[in-house]
């Protein structure tokens, strides 16, 4: 019950008691007074009528008495008038029955009044003619009292209605700070921290608002402190201090994640090595060597030949590595452009003219072995060292056949969309006691050789050809049409960047939400951290729509190196983090970083889903850290849906 209703009930009870006391008291006093007035009126009328009869020439004339009696009956509520002779015989009598139709019976019973009697002696000269008796009914008194009661009730009703209106307006004004306190609490639940600038004058409300503002400040401070702690430990674990690129641990974790089944990456890894780095440092000093490292790091951050190096790191003191979803040819062209930029820069700096760079490139595929990839790159580097400065060696992929030109890529993508060669595989994420929490869907395709092509092999080209939204629509269609999967397990769908950039995607998404609502199917909508970071406003809108339809919204591949303010911009239900990253954060030298992450997610009611769990050791370690939801090949292998 609202505060207004509670106060309204209390005021109503007070009004009712007050009304009852006033009405009963007034009715009692009025009844006593009117009873006396009735008796006086009856006696006065009897005296007046007696005088009129005494002045008649013949006081016992029936016709004259009838006229006088009728005049009295017509003037009031008289029930009986009787003239009785001295011998006890009735000379003349008139009576009538009075019905109180305008006064309810309950009111008559509530205020009982008796009939008033009046009498007087009738003299005819010096001789007594008889006695006149008169009885007056209290009907007109009842009518007056009842009308007064109605007027009182009407006045009280108007006063009560006015009081309720004033009370509602007053409470609406006084309780505005409490409404804003509620909005503050809702904002905290939605991962936003709002302060009340207007402090109410009411002492009690002022204390509540000030306490709420203080709590919001503390919660925000906790969030900011934990975010800073997490960023600090992220720097310690995964960042090279000199270049601010990732370190060796970072790249190996990214490589392990990229080669897991749930990632489905089909791309390349490259290592750029500085030749004779120790000799350069010994002869020119650490400052020159550090400047060289920074220069190469800056070049790696730039775009060349239409290819951007992704997930760059300083692999060793003299080596830089990066992963890319592109094939070896595109990565080789990018590396060649990188070398040319460095050579142009070295011509202007004499200390760098003798620096030589070498590169090794190796294809990486889903399910591959990390050790073999690193061994292949080392072999390519050793070959590049024998071929002279700025040489590049690569190991070609021998697995999947893919188109080569953009026209061929477009034709192939259109054909797999039209022919149904695009299909979905699902992998379960399991919670406590191996209970399915969600089934994440991955896009796959079949080429002309009937080989399974992972999404990472064709999605980058689909994005460059503006066809990624077409693939999203096909995924929506297949999910809406599938009625064979267990509806108790939500389906996790990863959205592309085009979904957040193009307005026409929203209509298709609404159709998917409507179809799932009709089929009683639940969804887990997610997108990668960088995509959501680029589109925070659309992220908030999508999050609101997803939650309105009783689905969940999450972040895939949460990058702890990026600012975590995104977690406050949208209402997220879960985040997916690589299992190796969580395991590394749980080590003794980084436990505070993991605790900071847990504090942030617990504060915002966000679940952590560990992905890429590939062994019993990793599983046990994450369980010890308190991670309840996990996903990976060790727990469940991707299967076509």
Question: Which residue in 419, 412, 527 sits closest to 462, CA to CA?
Answer: 412
**List of residues 6+ apart from 289 with CB closer than 8 A:** 277, 280, 281
600 within 8 A of 622, measured Cβ to Cβ: no
Threshold 0.75, pTM exceeds: no
**What's the N-to-C CA distance of the chain in angstroms?**
50
Q: Which of 87-96, 344-353, 434-443 has the lowest mean pLDDT?
A: 87-96
> What is the full DSSP assignment across 379-436?
HHHHHHHHT-TTEEEEE---S-----SHHHHHHHHHHHHHHT-EEEEEEEEE-GGG-E
Question: Which residue in 220, 170, 168, 176 sits closest to 198, CA to CA?
Answer: 176
Q: Residue with structure tokens 């299909």?
A: 423
Helices 455-464 and 406-419 sit at what angle, rounded to 10 degrees?
110
Tell me the pLDDT of the chain averaged across its residues: 80
CA distances from 280 to 167, 289, 341 (A): 85, 7, 20
Q: Which of 325-334, 418-427, 469-478, 484-493 has the lowest mean pLDDT?
A: 325-334
Within 13 Å of residue 321, how many CA atoms lie on the same side as its CB?
A: 25
Q: Would you state the pLDDT for residue 266?
A: 64
Q: How confident is the model at residue 214 (pLDDT cuts 50, 70, 90)?
A: confident
484 within 8 A of 468, measured Cβ to Cβ: no
Assigned token pair, 242: 């000199």
Q: Would you state the pLDDT for residue 525?
A: 92
Q: Would you state the pLDDT for residue 453?
A: 82
Burial letters 415-444, b for 16+ CB under 10 A, else e: ebbeeebbbbbbbbbbeeeeeebbbbbbbb
CA distance 513 to 502: 18
492 within 8 A of 440, measured Cβ to Cβ: yes
Assigned token pair, 517: 């609502």
Residues 76-126: tens digit of each pLDDT: 677 778 777 777 777 777 767 766 667 777 777 677 776 777 778 877 767
- CA 548, 549, 551, 555 dihedral sign is negative
DSSP state of 529: H
Q: Would you state the pLDDT for residue 609?
A: 93
Q: Would you state the pLDDT for residue 307?
A: 46
Name the maximum alpha-carbon separation found in the chain: 166
Please check the confidence at residue 524 and state whether its pLDDT lies above 90. yes
- The helix or strand, by DSSP H or E, that contains position 232, with its residue range, turns out to be helix 203-238
Q: How confident is the model at residue 306 (pLDDT cuts 50, 70, 90)?
A: very low
Residues 554-604: tens digit of each pLDDT: 998 887 767 677 776 667 889 998 888 888 777 765 577 788 888 888 878
- CA 381, 386, 387, 389 dihedral sign is positive
């Amino acid at each position: 019950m609202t505060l207004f209703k509670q106060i309204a009930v209390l005021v109503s009870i007070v009004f009712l008691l007050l009304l009852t006391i006033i009405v009963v008291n007034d009715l009692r006093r009025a009844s006593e007074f009117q009873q006396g007035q009735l008796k006086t009126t009856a006696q006065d009328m009897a005296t007046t009528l007696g005088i009129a009869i005494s002045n008649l020439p013949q006081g016992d004339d029936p016709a004259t008495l009838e006229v006088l009696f009728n005049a009295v009956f017509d003037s009031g509520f008289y029930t009986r008038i009787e003239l009785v002779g001295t011998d006890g015989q009735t000379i003349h009598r008139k009576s009538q029955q009075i019905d109180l139709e305008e006064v309810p019976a309950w009111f008559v019973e509530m205020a009982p009044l008796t009939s008033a009697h009046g009498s007087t002696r009738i003299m005819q000269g010096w001789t007594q003619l008889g006695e006149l008796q008169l009885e007056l009914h209290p009907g007109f008194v009842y009518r007056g009292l009842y009308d007064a009661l109605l007027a009182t009730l009407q006045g009280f009703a108007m006063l009560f209605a006015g009081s309720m209106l004033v009370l509602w307006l007053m409470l609406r004004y006084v309780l505005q700070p409490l409404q804003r306190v509620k909005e503050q609490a809702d904002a905290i639940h939605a991962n936003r921290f709002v302060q009340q600038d207007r402090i109410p004058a009411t002492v009690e409300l002022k204390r509540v608002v000030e306490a709420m503002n203080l709590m919001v400040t503390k919660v925000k401070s906790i969030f900011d402190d934990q975010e800073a702690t997490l960023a600090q430990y992220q720097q310690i674990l995964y960042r090279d201090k000199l270049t601010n690129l990732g370190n060796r641990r970072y790249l190996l974790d990214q490589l392990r994640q990229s080669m897991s089944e749930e990632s489905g990456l089909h791309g390349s890894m490259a290592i750029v090595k500085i030749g004779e780095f120790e000799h350069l440092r010994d002869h020119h000093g650490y400052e020159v060597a550090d400047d060289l490292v920074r220069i190469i790091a800056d070049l790696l951050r730039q775009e060349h030949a239409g290819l951007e190096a992704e997930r760059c790191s300083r692999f060793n003191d003299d080596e830089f590595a990066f992963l890319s979803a592109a094939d070896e040819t595109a990565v080789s062209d990018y590396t060649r452009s990188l070398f040319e930029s460095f050579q142009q820069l070295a011509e202007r700096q004499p200390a760098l003219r003798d620096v030589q760079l070498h590169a090794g490139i190796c294809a990486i595929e889903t399910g591959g072995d990390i050790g073999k990839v690193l061994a292949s790159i080392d072999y390519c580097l050793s070959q590049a060292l024998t071929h002279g400065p700025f040489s590049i060696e690569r190991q070609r992929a021998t697995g999947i056949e893919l188109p080569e030109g953009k026209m061929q890529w477009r034709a192939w993508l259109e054909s797999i969309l039209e022919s149904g060669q695009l299909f979905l595989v699902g992998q379960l994420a399991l919670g406590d006691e191996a209970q399915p929490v969600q089934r994440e869907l991955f896009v796959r395709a079949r080429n002309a050789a009937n080989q399974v092509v992972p999404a990472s092999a064709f999605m980058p080209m689909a994005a460059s050809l503006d066809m990624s939204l077409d693939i999203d629509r096909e995924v929506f269609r297949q999910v809406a049409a599938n009625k064979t999967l267990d509806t108790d397990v939500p389906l996790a769908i990863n959205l592309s960047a085009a979904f957040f950039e193009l307005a026409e995607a929203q209509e298709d998404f609404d159709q998917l939400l409507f179809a799932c609502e009709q089929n009683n199917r639940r969804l887990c909508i997610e997108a990668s951290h960088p995509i959501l970071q680029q589109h925070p406003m659309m992220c908030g809108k999508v999050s609101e729509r997803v939650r309105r339809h009783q689905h969940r919204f999450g972040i895939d591949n949460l990058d702890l190196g990026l600012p975590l303010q995104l977690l406050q911009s949208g209402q997220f239900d879960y985040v997916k983090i690589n299992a190796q990253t969580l395991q590394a954060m749980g080590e003794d030298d980084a436990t505070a970083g993991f605790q900071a992450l847990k504090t942030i997610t617990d504060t915002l009611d966000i679940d952590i889903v560990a992905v890429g769990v590939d062994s019993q050791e990793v599983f046990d370690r994450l369980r010890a850290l308190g991670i309840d939801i996990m996903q990976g090949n060790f727990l469940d292998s991707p299967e076509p849906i």
